[in-house]
Amino acid sequence: MTACIVGWAHSRFGKLEGETLEGLIVKVATDALDHAGIGPDDVDEIVLGHFNAGFSPQDFTASLVLQADDRLRFKPATRVENACATGSAAVRQGIRAIDANAARVVLVVGAEQMTTTPGPEIGKNLLKASYLPEDGETPAGFAGVFGKIAQAYFQRYGDQSDALAMIAAKNHKNGVDNPYAQMRKDFGFEFCRQESEKNPFVAGPLKRTDCSLVSDGAAALVLADTSTALKMRRAVAFRANEHVQDFLPMSKRDILAFEGCEQAWNQALKKAGVTLDDLSFVETHDCFTIAELIEYEAMGLAKPGEGAKLALDGTTAKDGRLPVNPSGGLKAKGHPIGATGVSMHVLTAMQLVGEAGGIQVPGAKLGGIFNMGGAAVANYVSILDRIR
């Protein structure tokens, strides 16, 4: 355990009228430092997670964090990107700076502003996270990519529409009590299960309730080395932080296996010296409900083709054996690309210090996080443990 989370901040996610990317970044950076009880002079390095890919005309954004306070001037600041796992890539870069003794305190910010982009352009921007020679003409954009994955899963294992609807309903129910969530409405299983004018099919067997939201938002956290963290107000340690990158073309792998996700989980659990049974909850990457279903299998909760059982029998409900996405996940919370991975770490830290409010998992001791970029291409797993 070389790095700890010692402070954080989180904006509301959604269509944030009148907000700017710069404003979002500045607000969470300022609030995270305040929450950690430190000033800009204490920061040794800054990492910004910002996907962009056409969402913002300002493409050189690392120094926008410096707008939070003039005292951040001349600090090293870098923007990182790894598709939908951009936020976790930023977290990992901060951890590695601490591991290398190159920094004692790192400010990590993740941010994205998506809703100001016209709808057709949003689809094109997101599709850039796939392998364009194979998937560049996919109807319905990135939803179409996961629609093909869902169709292939159904062909191999049978129709899993009930399970997908249960995952959507679970996450929307959880999101009701998350003050940061974009959609705080309990739609119920029947609404998520049935095609309707308000819940049409989007791609393959995926309906609107199976797809995460287009969002604006930002989150930030302050990392410190363990000895520094133990002198601060709170310390949530990384028992593990693993990154596994897989092939970009889906044709080069079994896309229903999410092998990169499986590898990342195996490495993280081994590094932390724990099993899935030791975890109190998991925040996982439900960009589409089929992704959460396959992730149950990749992380080892179920055998291949049997993930649906966990959704249907309540294992992953908030009061189940292993709650998955007590925050509401990307499905209800929203998915501002660059902010998502940082948000997952912030909300997990909040759970472990007992400050998660209505989404609190009682007695949470150990939290797992899985954040992925593309279709299981960039795979990041963290296991967090409160030590102060």
In a domain, 360, yes or no: no
d(CA 62, CA 47): 7
Question: Mean pLDDT across the chain, nearest whole number?
Answer: 97
Q: Per the structure block, which two tokens stand in for 89?
A: 């890539």
Q: Which residues pair with 339 in a beta bridge?
A: none
User: Above 80 in pLDDT, residue 1?
Assistant: no
Share of the chain above pLDDT 90, in %: 99
In a domain, 159, yes or no: no
User: 16 is in which domain, residue-wise?
Assistant: 3-117+215-229
Looking up residue 35, the CATH number of its domain turns out to be: 3.40.47.10
User: Which pLDDT does position 2 carry in this prediction?
Assistant: 84
Catalytic positions, written as ranges: 84, 335
* pLDDT, mean of residues 81-109: 98
User: Which pLDDT does position 187 carry in this prediction?
Assistant: 98
Q: Tokens 């409010």 sit at which residue?
A: 357
In a domain, 65, yes or no: yes
- The tens digit of pLDDT for each residue in 259-280 reads 999 999 999 999 999 999 999 9
d(CA 90, CA 180): 21
pTM: 0.98
In one letter, which amino acid is 368?
G
Contacts of 123 by beta carbon, 8 Å cutoff, 6+ apart: 140, 141, 142, 143
Eight-class DSSP state of 217: E
d(CA 178, CA 33): 22
- The tens digit of pLDDT for each residue in 164-202 reads 999 999 999 999 999 999 999 999 999 999 999 999 999
* pLDDT, mean of residues 233-237: 97
- The tens digit of pLDDT for each residue in 301-351 reads 999 999 999 999 999 999 999 999 999 999 999 999 999 999 999 999 999
- The tens digit of pLDDT for each residue in 145-171 reads 999 999 999 999 999 999 999 999 999
**Which pairing describes strands 366-373 and 378-386: parallel, antiparallel, or unpaired?**
antiparallel
- Residue 72's alpha-carbon distances to 4, 77, 370, in angstroms, are 21, 9, 31
In a domain, 339, yes or no: no
Closest by Cα among 285, 293, 298 to 312 = 293
In a domain, 30, yes or no: yes
Q: Per the structure block, which two tokens stand in for 325?
A: 């996405």
CB–CB of 287/335 below 8 Å? Answer: yes
d(CA 37, CA 42): 10
In a domain, 169, yes or no: no
- The tens digit of pLDDT for each residue in 35-52 reads 999 999 999 999 999 999
In a domain, 11, yes or no: yes
Query: Per the structure, how many domains does the chain have?
Result: 1
In a domain, 50, yes or no: yes
